[in-house]
Structure 1
Amino acid sequence: MKHFLQKLGKSLLIPIAALPAAGLLLRLSAVDMLDIPLFQASGVILNNMDILIAIGIAMGLANTKDKGIPALTGFLAVSVLQEGLGILNQNLDMSVFGGVVAGLVAAFIYNRFHQTRLPSMFAFFGGEKFPITMIILVMIPIAGLFSVVWPYAQSGIDAFSQMLVGLGAFGIFVFGFFNRFLLPFGLHHVMNTYVYFGLGRFETASRETVTGEITRFLNGDPAAGYFLGGFFVTMMFGIPAIALAITRAARTKKKETKALMSSGAATSLITGITEPIEFTFLFTSPLLYFLHSVYTGLAGMVLYLLGIRHGFSWGAGAIDYALNLNLSDRGLLLIPVGLAFFVLYYVTFYLVITKRNVPVIGREQDAEAPAKSEPGTMHSGYETIAANILQHIGGRENVIACDNCMTRLRMKLTDTSLADETKLKQAGAHGVIKIGRHDIQIVIGPGAAHVKRELENIIERES
């Protein structure tokens, strides 16, 4: 189950890759900004997240390197589901959950039937093409089943949504806390998907109903954004404060530590990607990471109590903050709140690191210097980093499969015990997570996709 949830979380990142361009174009072309109606077409991405999620899950869970047929299978699955529900009950809308169901069924059908052999006269429809036929036949009765079941499920989901929203500040605290707390396991994406794209409903001026905090916020819902705003505090102020505390607490290799922390802080501030900093203290001090999770929840809670509402299209960095400021409520007040949290983060982390002698970067005993070439910032270092990682995970023979999300390599190995965590970190990894005997995640940073590609090139050359 843990392995399945890991793969599901990774799969949900595939459609999210479309959000930066879609969200930024939608906001920039709005009436209160550049007013370019044609560019508003990018909003179709946000309004069809169920289709993208179905395709992403089918691709991510399919046991094949060629993802084309699984993607088509996922699209057919969600299309038949939507049409079937519309025929039987036009008032039903499974939204993001329809995408999840369709994607899971599509992945199962592909993995089960992609090697099916048919008689010679039907051979064209066999093999990898057979799931295309099967998914249509399977999804029709599934659509019929959900036309009966979904009204009850929808009532339960609506009740949960109302409960979460009804909890007010505490509900926002809980979401923020678990968003960080589940990040080391890659499971936060599963929870985020519902809140971002399924929580609540809003009818736009064009009489279209949209769901989810992100979609509702960008479409002008005055009740959306409370579950999102706290992340601006964490990513624009909290993470840089942590980086400063680690830098100031360093006893050795201060220049290397400062360079690494500065890069990670800038990445978080501008793009909202936090893992390069978080994984420098996650395993060395679970106490600090617990406090970080608490502060993330507390940030959202404070903004809610102060009536500050803000949102983003893909990441709570400075770009989204500036672009969406006109859609916010009291968005400028987020800055003084952020500065207060900067002080809270810095004082807490500096005192815990120094008083408890936490062996973060710059305070390790007899440790080698942090990697000088930060992955994601120096293209020339990708091949070297990939070669070193391959060496320290047991070589090509130990690799079964390799994939990546925005910041991590997600690998399946014959034996994870052969992976040397210390040497992997010296090779450029920010963190290493072993999940059982076969699965491992190696936190690289924004350059994870480049490292993965070089890793595959090296494996192919050595084969």
Structure 2
Amino acid sequence: MKAALNSFKKKLAQLGRSMLVPVTAMPVAGILSRIASPDMLNIPLLKSAGDIVFGNMDILFALGAVVAFAKAKDKVSPMVASLLSILVLKSTLAALDETISMGIFAGIIVGCFTAWIFNHSKDWKTPKIFDFFTGEKFVITLAPIATVGLGYVLSFIWPPIQMVLDGFAIGIAKLGAVGVFIFGFLNRLLIPVGLHHVFNSYIYFNLGSYTQADGTVVTGEMTRFLAGDPTAGLFLSMFFVVMMFGLPGAALAMYKCAKKRKSEVKGLMTSSAITSFVTGITEPLEFSFMFVAPQLYFVHALYTGLAGAVCYLLGIRIGFSSGGNIIDLVLNWGLGSNVILIIPVGIAFFALYYFTFRFLIVKYNLKTLGREDDFIDSEEITEEEKNATLSNKNYAYIAKKIVENLGGAANIENIGHCMTRLRVETKDASLMNLEKIKQMGVKGVITLSDTSVQIIIGSEVQQVMAEIEQII
């Protein structure tokens, strides 16, 4: 039972990683679409370039899912197969039942289905005359053909599922402020296991529908808002309050409570707060207290939901393309409603986060940055290892030691990264030395199962990953 649960958690974490592909593609598309809108620069050609991304989210999700689950270092073949397969599925469903609308779920299912075919067919043996088409390229032939059958099955299975999902959307909407609170709370609560993208995706890309002037139908809170839907944005306004005001308040509290290394803590908290305010990327700041003080993180999740409920009750309606940051606030101000109220609400939440975090840290002696107990590892640490922290930018050495302490390149079955984490699957857990990895200056190590770990690097994860790719 435990093994099955660990396997399920691992698969969900991989699925969460796949959600990052479309999310990464959205900022530029959203900015293009917004600044080219009729009420701004009014450049239809530029707007259509941005809108094309929102019109093909299912394709992006298919690519994301196949990248997450295909077991290969070179994933070009499964990606090509996934692209062909999602086009085949859309055509098949349209021919069988035009009323079926799977949205992003079509992409997720096709991506997982293609990865499954790839993982099972890449080692199949065939007559030598077919060698060119087999091996890792075999999926390009098999997946689109198999997807026709998948489409036929889904034409029976999906309609009742679609009714349930629609009911969920309607139910959340009918709950009003309570529904928004639940969404905000779960949105943050799922971040530690990397599954918030799974939960977000339905709200962002499938909740509700809106028909534009040219007849194009778009779905999802994010896409509907950017398309000009006057009812969209109620589920998104909370993030401006939390990312621009609440979390910076938490950062100030942690700095004020630090007992040692004040200048270092000040630098880390300042840079993390600015990152949250300007870009909407919150992981560097959230990870600084998520594991050392989970009580604070639970409060943070509650306050995110509370911010959503308050914004809903005040009729604050604003959306984003990249996140609840100052850039999106300025660009999308004209599309929203009661946006000016973000400022007083944000100031109130800055104070709420600051005083709550400061009270809890002091009262319960929480070990946030600058308050850690002195610790001497019984295992000898070399001077070279002591100096090999991310602060000195020695990415090559850090990558080398991470690979070494994961059991070597041969023990790494799959490795990838999101905005702040390395996500690793190994073959033999006994070969890993996670304590040594923690000594490399990383921000934390999460064990999802015996062979699946996440190494929290921070904003420099891409540089570390680039060095790891040179090794393996």
Contact 1:276 1:430 in 2 (8 A): no
The CA deviation at 1:320 is 1.2
- CA 1:395–1:253 in 2, change beyond 3 Å: closer, same or farther? farther
Aligned match of 2:11 in 4, 8, 14? 4
Q: Deviations over 1:271-330 (max 9, x none)?
A: 111111111211222211110100011101100000001111121111111111111111
User: What secondary structure sits across from 1:202 in the alignment?
Assistant: strand
Q: Which amino acid aligns with 1:290?
A: F
The CA deviation at 1:64 is 0.4
Q: Deviations over 1:54-110 (max 9, x none)?
A: 111112210001111111111111111100111122222211111111111111111
Q: Deviations over 1:233-289 (max 9, x none)?
A: 111111111110110001111001101111111111111111111112112222111
- CA 1:449–1:200 in 2, change beyond 3 Å: closer, same or farther? same
**Equivalent residues in 2 for 1:300-311 (5 A)?**
300-311=308-319
Residue 282 of structure 2 corresponds to: 274
Distance in 1, matches of 2:387 and 2:392, equals: 13
Distance in 2, matches of 1:213 and 1:74, equals: 26
Distance in 2, matches of 1:433 and 1:448, equals: 15
TM-score (norm 2): 0.91
Contact 2:255 2:269 in 1 (8 A): yes
Residue 325 of structure 2 corresponds to: 317
Residue 15 of structure 1 corresponds to: 22
Contact 1:280 1:431 in 2 (8 A): no
Contact 1:276 1:443 in 2 (8 A): no
**Equivalent residues in 2 for 1:356-375 (5 A)?**
356-366=364-374
CA RMSD in angstroms, aligned pairs only: 2.1
Residue 455 of structure 1 corresponds to: 468
Distance in 1, matches of 2:248 and 2:190, equals: 21
| Percent identity of paired positions between Structure 1 and Structure 2 | 45
Distance in 1, matches of 2:180 and 2:20, equals: 23
The CA deviation at 1:153 is 1.8
Residue 293 of structure 1 corresponds to: 301
Residue 207 of structure 1 corresponds to: 215
TM-score (norm 1): 0.93
User: What secondary structure sits across from 2:19 in the alignment?
Assistant: helix
User: What secondary structure sits across from 1:220 in the alignment?
Assistant: coil
The CA deviation at 1:401 is 3.0
The CA deviation at 1:25 is 1.2
Aligned match of 2:134 in 116, 126, 129? 126
**Equivalent residues in 2 for 1:163-178 (5 A)?**
163-178=171-186
294-303 or 27-36, which moves further after superposition? 27-36
The CA deviation at 1:425 is 5.1
Distance in 1, matches of 2:148 and 2:339, equals: 47
Distance in 2, matches of 1:208 and 1:416, equals: 54
1:429 and 2:442 equivalent? yes
Distance in 1, matches of 2:159 and 2:257, equals: 56
Q: Which amino acid aligns with 2:178?
A: F
Contact 1:241 1:343 in 2 (8 A): yes
Distance in 2, matches of 1:300 and 1:272, equals: 16
- CA 1:298–1:425 in 2, change beyond 3 Å: closer, same or farther? farther
Q: Which amino acid aligns with 1:431?
A: G
Residue 403 of structure 1 corresponds to: 416
Structure 1 alignment gaps of length 5 or more = none
The CA deviation at 1:439 is 1.1
Structure 2 alignment gaps of length 5 or more = 1-7, 377-385
- CA 1:436–1:347 in 2, change beyond 3 Å: closer, same or farther? same
Residue 76 of structure 1 corresponds to: 84
